[in-house]
Amino acid sequence: MHLKPEILEGASSLFMRYGIKSVTMDDISRELGISKKTLYQYVENKADLIKQTMELHIDEEKKMISQLKETADDAIHEIVILAKHITQMLREIPPGFTYDLQKYYRKCWEIVDKYNHSHIYGTIKDNIERGIKQGVYREGINPDIIAKLYVGKTSLITDEEVFPLRNYKKDILFEQYISYHLRGIASTKGLKLLAKHTKNLL
């Protein structure tokens, strides 16, 4: 039996419940009911396991974003439903998860960072271009600049030196940021749609 998907899903579940640093390879093998010898047939070490779980998560996120975009009525609706999905995900991430990833598994964090600066950037840029054509975003805004600002500010939310976990919840930070982002680029028509879409979603 091919155990790789089961190993990645099981490890990801443990990381999301207890955090990256506190989960050991012994914990993972015990949780999955396999020996460490068997575990090491599929991964080189804990860093490799984290890397593979992050790559799996990113692949799943890309599929989810694509599916959510297809259900959106307009550009603002697209951002609102994506924000709802991301906010829920942030609520499930244990305290210190991002910090541990950045500090102890830098190469794994670079995979996430690259995803943000490529796929998320592209998603937001496309959304802005769509919104301008629909008249829900203001004319004259630069999609490239705004998309890069979006990615940069999203990364700032994960900076626990700026927003320490003891004082700020990441889901609340993200909700505030999305409101800030949309209100900064929405046209008068867009603001009316924002009120409509956020009534039941945020």
Tell me what percent of the residues of the chain surpass a pLDDT of 90: 80
Confidence band (pLDDT; 50, 70, 90) for 200? low
Find the mean pLDDT for residues 73-87.
Answer: 95
- In terms of Cβ atoms closer than 10 Å to its own Cβ (0-12, 13-18, 19+), residue 63 is exposed
Q: Output the CA torsion 94→96→99→102 (10° steps).
A: -50
The answer to whether residue 181 scores a pLDDT higher than 80 is yes
Domains of the chain: 46-201 (1.10.357.10)
Tell me what percent of the residues of the chain surpass a pLDDT of 70: 98
What confidence tens digit (pLDDT) does each residue in 112-127 have?
A: 999 999 999 999 999 9
Find the mean pLDDT for residues 54-62.
Answer: 94
**CA separation (Å) from 149 to 154, 160, 165, 177?**
8, 19, 23, 12
Max mean pLDDT among 92-96, 145-149, 197-201 falls in: 145-149
3-state secondary structure of 163: coil
Find the mean pLDDT for residues 79-101.
Answer: 90
Confidence band (pLDDT; 50, 70, 90) for 201? low
Residue 202 has a pLDDT of: 46
Q: Output the CA torsion 196→198→199→202 (10° steps).
A: 170
The answer to whether residue 85 scores a pLDDT higher than 80 is yes
Of 1-10, 32-41, 117-126, 157-166, the one with minimum mean pLDDT is: 1-10
Q: How many CB atoms lie within 10 A of CB 49?
A: 23
Three-point CA angle 96, 46, 106, nearest 5°: 55
Find the mean pLDDT for residues 48-71.
Answer: 95
Q: How far apart are CA 54 and CA 189, in angstroms?
A: 39
Residue 148 has a pLDDT of: 97
